[in-house]
A = this chain, B = another copy of it.
Amino acid sequence: MLDDRKLAILRAIVTDYVSMREPVGSRALVERYQLDVSPATVRNDMAVLEEEGYITQPHTSAGRIPTDKGYRLFVDRLGTVKPLSPSERRAIETFMTGALDVDDLVRRTVRLLAQITQQVAIVQYPIDLGSSIRHIELVTLGGGRGLVIVVTSAGRVDQRAIETGGAGEETVADLRGRLNAALIGLSSERAASKAGALLDELPPELHPLGAVAIAAILDVLGTRETGRVVVGGVPNLTRFADQFETTVKPVLEALEEQVILLRLLGEAVGEDDVTVRIGHENPYASLQSTSVVASSYGTAPEAWATLGIVGPTRMDYPSTMAAVRAVARYVGRFLAEG
């Protein structure tokens, strides 16, 4: 039902609307793109496209703009791959090299992604499901307080504050030794179950301290998968300039909710390539005037997470997708190399 010319017209409408930011009419279309037909023909085709729900007009005498369905078709079948510009490639290289640690890497990635796409960037901290426990440290801080520190083979360090009570240094050392002996080398899941069982094996004098320490370890292991999220490039939202209160505020609110962001990125897990959610395809009402372009990154199972961007549905999908894909690849490679 949609012949080649209609598809070409849809592609032209999307392209034009994205760059011009104005509803596009039949005349402008034939002038700016080589359609080799008259405006009247284009109008007829546009009527069909509108009937099928791919485009719509804001008001009677205006040009057409793509609907979410139109963008979807464009992304799925019409988008031509747009390679990154040399300067973008260079930006990626420059940003990545010299990252100090995972924290720094994530911060750099957010900035980079926001800069090339000119959108709001979201990067999830790498989660290391498949990694194993490398070290467990118990430190007293005085005043009856202390820390439990868990280090994994992927280089991740988590800590929890605990009440140590009046436990002496040798008690701490004893417990530290037992914990390490029991848990080092185990995966998160196995460590969690082993730790639970370990409490019963401890001599009574280690019991009070052992209980809180193990509880802290279980907490670390349990919350590990949810991973944090970092957001950047929020100023790019100002390009939504029209409708501020109605459009931007909900988006800002969503961006402050870690849970929402995680779920948003979560949709991309398991996909091979870049995932695109357009407008209402989005699970959150507050983001239904935006699109999300996301991708997994990293080398499973050691470090695996997702990153992406949030922007107006009216965005340059080919470029954005290329950028997200490229950044995901680079970060993944960087992570693998250390």
Contacts and interface: CB of A to CB of B under 8 A. Distances in A.
A143 to B, nearest CB: 7
Given A137-B135, A234-B234, A238-B245, A155 B147 contact: yes
Interface stretch (A6-14, A28-36, A80-88, A251-259): A251-259
Interface in A95-119: 100-102
A142 interface: yes
Interface string A226-264: 000000111101100100110011001101100000000
A71 to B, nearest CB: 25
A159 interface: yes
A62 B160 CA distance: 58
A100 B161 contact: yes
A100 B139 CA distance: 17
Q: Which 10 A-B pairs have the closest CB atoms?
A: A235-B252, A238-B249, A135-B139, A235-B253, A157-B159, A101-B161, A145-B338, A244-B244, A139-B151, A137-B137
Interface of A: 100-102, 134-135, 137, 139-143, 145, 147, 149, 151, 153-155, 157, 159-161, 219, 232-235, 237-238, 241, 244-245, 248-249, 252-253, 255-256, 338
23 contacts: A100-B161, A100-B219, A101-B160, A101-B161, A102-B161, A135-B139, A137-B149, A137-B151, A142-B153, A143-B338, A145-B338, A147-B155, A149-B149, A149-B157, A155-B161, A161-B338, A234-B234, A234-B256, A235-B252, A238-B244, A238-B248, A238-B252, A241-B244
